Amino acid sequence: MSLRFNAINNLAGKDGVSNAGSKKITAIFNENVFTLKTAREFLSDEAYKSLLASIKGAKKIDRAVANQIAAGLRQWAESKGVSHYTHWFQPLTGTTAEKHDSFFTLKGDGSALEEFDGAALIQQEPDASSFPNGGIRATFEARGYTAWDPSSPAFIMEIGTGKTLCVPTIFVSYTGETLDYKAPLLKSLEALNKAAVDVANYFDKNVNKVSATLGWEQEYFVIDEAMFNARPDLVLSGRTVFGHSPAKGQQLEDHYFGSIPERVYAFMRDFETESYKLGIPLRTRHNEVAPAQFECAPIFEEVSVAVDHNTLLMDIMDRVARRHKLRVLLHEKPFAGINGSGKHNNWSMSTDTGVNLLAPGKTPKTNFMFLTFFVNTIKAVHDYADILRASIASAGNDHRLGANEAPPAIISVFVGGYLNKVLQDVKERVSDKFDEQDEAILKLDLHKSIPELMLDNTDRNRTSPFAFTGNKFEFRAVGSTANCANPMTVLNTIIAETLKQFKKDVDALIEKGEKKEIAIMHVIREYIVSSEKVLFEGDGYSEAWAKEAEKRGLPNVKTTPLALDALVTEKAKHLFESNNVLTHVELEARHEIEVEKYIKRVQIEARIMGELCTSHIIPSAIKYQNTLIQNIKGLKEVGMPESSYKNQTVILERLSHYISKTSELVVQMIEARKICNAMEDTRTKAIAYESQVKAPFFDAIRYHVDKLELMVDDKEWLLPKYREMLFLR
């Protein structure tokens, strides 16, 4: 029996039993995390204070104290049955990495003991030669090491029956270049902190720290494991390269409001339980628009923690799904013709005085502060739209952006009717003759109109890539597989740069004798004027917007290889280097890595397409072709009139046409690939893969294969069909 029918037959009897007991969330939350409370219990006063200080201000921990912290960590871990530890990090491959070592060691005299010292806590050398480094390690130094990041708490990962103590780390080369997503993120947060505190101090001297906050919304598909295994394209590339749309797709919109299927619900309960134990504050779960598509979202957290939690979650979801004989598909576009998956990044900034800088305030003064940060954010997105676009570029996301289901590749900002009016007001009323009295009145007027904006919230524009949603911005163009660190690093950095410039501009006016508030209003007005072309309230999916955006001069880069160019412009280099986030070398390396990833992804898809055509599609089609031939021959032989096999002949002709087209195109695609593979320069190669392999062949081959799927005898078709993957569970 083919894998396909095996999968269909085995579906019956899948019940969907969850292991999640009936414990309250609060009873298990953070159970497997070395929280400050746990640290208090397992560490000496000295070690605890030192850990606390390093969490707060990146203060270095000395070796003796590190030994104490390591001992406390081991004690805690062992009390939970843990025997191994690992440095956990986020390499540029996009997943997470671990190398497990046991606490167990042998001493010189041969005696055995369990040990975990400060040195092992602080630094580890993974065998990292196979992680992407964009040439850095080759040029500078052959190895990299992982270094403990005390700002992110250690945790215990339960894998199968084993348990491992995971120490969050950053990954760096011996010459100091960062090789992961986390290190630049932490640096960008530092840059933002500094710049935002300076500006916040115009309004409130008590602000000493500003952190960025992130609440992500993870979309994903869930399908049966046996179905998954019967689709080599899903196994190897994460998406179906072929598959005719089912007779019923998402047009009835009945999935979104429907109840969660039993098996999926059991899976959700289990991965949520695992997440809670690791301190991931999941809050919502629901069906998404497409059949078999779902979403979950946590309560927002500080960006670095939220990023760790999202990467952890993706890992947990995958592991738990397998326990349920299900598979999670995190790819941006696993199925053509229905919605893909994104990962909205809700982002804001908050002060150590407890103020959300992007939430409208309670007094005229706090609203003035809100307006300042609000306008600076818009200006940053306007000035660095190309870099923001690059931060979300990937082969998977190219299928989504601009495909009428996700924001287009054009970066614009939606702020809603009320705030638009507020911006217009400032623009019109702040003039050269603007004096103290005007300023006071304007501030009061703004204060009066801003609270209304809370009502405006419901009027959400779902088609905008960067939308203000009442007390935060929602970056909606992020792909579902993405590590949020990438877009968050860029967002933090561009806001930091803009706020730094803002402070310079305001201070310059103050120096000329302008009163502080008036100076701020002037600069805000200037920023509104210079960035208003990025504001767009209409339908972002429409053709009209693409035209309008072009008129406005907004970039619209549709493919990853070209979008990535924005990472290595002089502008980008200056931005990242002056904010101490990434050096020239690191940027070049990252660009190289992303371009290489793109090539590999398209290469794999092209290969699997070719292979499926030759080994699955065409053989099935030929079988059916033979059946038709036999039939026509037989009818002729027994002397039936031509009219009795006329229809079969038509079917046979069409079938033969699709078979030859498929096979011809596959041959041509292989030729095109050979030409690309011979190219030296990675950027040129990536562009060629897009324009010479993907664009001319992927859809064309698919068209013919999908026609064959509709024609060929169902029992001969080897690949599970869309209706089976999406509707059977």
Contact residues toward Mg ion (CB under 5 A) are: 344
Question: Judged by CB under 6 A, does residue 85 bind ligand ADP?
Answer: no
Closer CB to ligand ADP, residue 351 or residue 486?
351
Helix (H) or strand (E) run with residue 536 in it: none
Stretch that binds ligand ADP, among 122-130, 298-306, 538-546, 681-689 (CB under 6 A): 298-306
User: CB 302 → ligand ADP: shortest distance, Å?
Assistant: 9
Closer CB to ligand ADP, residue 213 or residue 240?
213
User: CB 323 → Mg ion: shortest distance, Å?
Assistant: 29
Closer CB to ligand ADP, residue 178 or residue 350?
350
Residue with the shortest CB distance to ligand ADP: 215
- Phi then psi for residue 282, to 5 deg, are -60, 140
Select from 429, 455, 431, 432 the least CA-distant residue to 441.
429
Closer CB to ligand ADP, residue 133 or residue 376?
376
Angle of the 436-449 helix axis to the 516-531 helix axis, nearest 10: 60
Q: 62 is written with which tokens?
A: 């000395």
Closer CB to ligand ADP, residue 151 or residue 213?
213
Report d(CA 69, CA 66) in Å as an integer.
Answer: 5
Stretch that binds ligand ADP, among 137-145, 202-210, 316-324, 342-350 (CB under 6 A): 342-350
Select from 325, 473, 445, 330 the least CA-distant residue to 388.
473
Closer CB to ligand ADP, residue 388 or residue 582?
388
Pairing assessment for the beta strands 210-224 and 293-298 based on DSSP bridges: antiparallel
How far is the CA of 128 from the CAs of 91, 125, 308, 343, 590, in angstroms?
A: 10, 8, 20, 29, 16
Burial class (CB in 10 A: 0-12, 13-18, 19+), 173: buried
Question: Judged by CB under 6 A, does residue 86 bind ligand ADP?
Answer: no
297 contacts which partner out of ligand ADP, Mg ion, none, CB within 5 to 8 A by kind?
ligand ADP
Question: Judged by CB under 6 A, does residue 475 bind ligand ADP?
Answer: no
Report d(CA 363, CA 450) in Å as an integer.
Answer: 10
Closer CB to ligand ADP, residue 202 or residue 347?
347
Report d(CA 589, CA 287) in Å as an integer.
Answer: 39
Gyration radius of the chain over CA positions: 29
Stretch that binds ligand ADP, among 145-153, 363-371, 415-423, 464-472 (CB under 6 A): 464-472
Report yes or no: 482 and 397 within 8 Å, Cβ to Cβ: yes
Report d(CA 180, CA 308) in Å as an integer.
Answer: 13
Note the helical H segments in 181-284: 182-200, 225-229, 232-237, 254-257, 262-277
Question: Judged by CB under 6 A, does residue 171 bind ligand ADP?
Answer: no
Report yes or no: 192 and 495 within 8 Å, Cβ to Cβ: yes
Report yes or no: 340 and 400 within 8 Å, Cβ to Cβ: yes
- Figure out which of the listed residues 235, 299, 441, 667 binds ligand ADP, where binding follows CB under 6 A: 299
User: CB 244 → ligand ADP: shortest distance, Å?
Assistant: 34
3-state secondary structure of 285: strand
- Figure out which of the listed residues 6, 105, 356, 627 binds ligand ADP, where binding follows CB under 6 A: 356
299 contacts which partner out of Mg ion, ligand ADP, none, CB within 5 to 8 A by kind?
ligand ADP
Report the Cα 450 to chain-centroid distance in Å.
32
- Figure out which of the listed residues 277, 343, 472, 601 binds ligand ADP, where binding follows CB under 6 A: 472
Closer CB to ligand ADP, residue 278 or residue 355?
355
Question: Judged by CB under 6 A, does residue 214 bind ligand ADP?
Answer: yes
Question: Judged by CB under 6 A, does residue 722 bind ligand ADP?
Answer: no
How far is the CA of 396 from the CAs of 239, 259, 545, 560, in angstroms?
A: 9, 29, 23, 9
Closer CB to ligand ADP, residue 286 or residue 633?
286
Question: Judged by CB under 6 A, does residue 455 bind ligand ADP?
Answer: no
Question: Judged by CB under 6 A, does residue 348 bind ligand ADP?
Answer: yes
Q: 227 is written with which tokens?
A: 């179905």
Q: 510 is written with which tokens?
A: 């103050």
Q: What secondary structure, in 3-state letters, does 365-415 show?
A: HHHHHHHHHHHHHHHHHHHCHHHHHHCCCCHHHHCCCCCCCCCCCECCEEC
356 contacts which partner out of Mg ion, ligand ADP, none, CB within 5 to 8 A by kind?
ligand ADP
472 contacts which partner out of Mg ion, ligand ADP, none, CB within 5 to 8 A by kind?
ligand ADP
CA atoms within 13 A on the CB side of 365: 8
> Count residues contacting ligand ADP (CB under 6 A)?
15
3-state secondary structure of 246: coil
In the range 52-81, which residues lie near ligand ADP by CB under 6 A? none
Burial class (CB in 10 A: 0-12, 13-18, 19+), 638: exposed
Report d(CA 266, CA 321) in Å as an integer.
Answer: 10
Select from 491, 413, 422 the least CA-distant residue to 451.
422
Report d(CA 7, CA 4) in Å as an integer.
Answer: 5
User: CB 480 → Mg ion: shortest distance, Å?
Assistant: 13
User: CB 298 → Mg ion: shortest distance, Å?
Assistant: 13
Closer CB to ligand ADP, residue 300 or residue 370?
300
Closer CB to Mg ion, residue 333 or residue 344?
344
Closer CB to ligand ADP, residue 83 or residue 471?
471
User: CB 306 → ligand ADP: shortest distance, Å?
Assistant: 8
Stretch that binds ligand ADP, among 165-173, 209-217, 426-434, 582-590 (CB under 6 A): 209-217
- Figure out which of the listed residues 54, 164, 188, 213 binds ligand ADP, where binding follows CB under 6 A: 213
- Figure out which of the listed residues 215, 246, 360, 416 binds ligand ADP, where binding follows CB under 6 A: 215
Helix (H) or strand (E) run with residue 721 in it: none
Question: Judged by CB under 6 A, does residue 300 bind ligand ADP?
Answer: yes
469 contacts which partner out of Mg ion, ligand ADP, none, CB within 5 to 8 A by kind?
ligand ADP
List the beta bridge partners of residue 32.
none
Closer CB to Mg ion, residue 476 or residue 590?
476
User: CB 219 → ligand ADP: shortest distance, Å?
Assistant: 13
Select from 348, 343, 269 the least CA-distant residue to 309.
343
Report d(CA 339, CA 291) in Å as an integer.
Answer: 9
User: CB 354 → ligand ADP: shortest distance, Å?
Assistant: 12
Closer CB to ligand ADP, residue 89 or residue 468?
468
User: CB 403 → ligand ADP: shortest distance, Å?
Assistant: 22
User: CB 215 → ligand ADP: shortest distance, Å?
Assistant: 3
In the range 217-236, which residues lie near ligand ADP by CB under 6 A? 217
List the beta bridge partners of residue 286.
295
Helix (H) or strand (E) run with residue 600 in it: helix 584-612
Closer CB to Mg ion, residue 295 or residue 383?
295
Question: Judged by CB under 6 A, does residue 297 bind ligand ADP?
Answer: yes
User: CB 4 → ligand ADP: shortest distance, Å?
Assistant: 38
563 contacts which partner out of ligand ADP, Mg ion, none, CB within 5 to 8 A by kind?
none
- Figure out which of the listed residues 372, 469, 579, 620 binds ligand ADP, where binding follows CB under 6 A: 469
User: For binding to ligand ADP (CB under 6 A), which residues are involved?
Assistant: 213-215, 217, 297-300, 346-348, 356, 469, 471-472
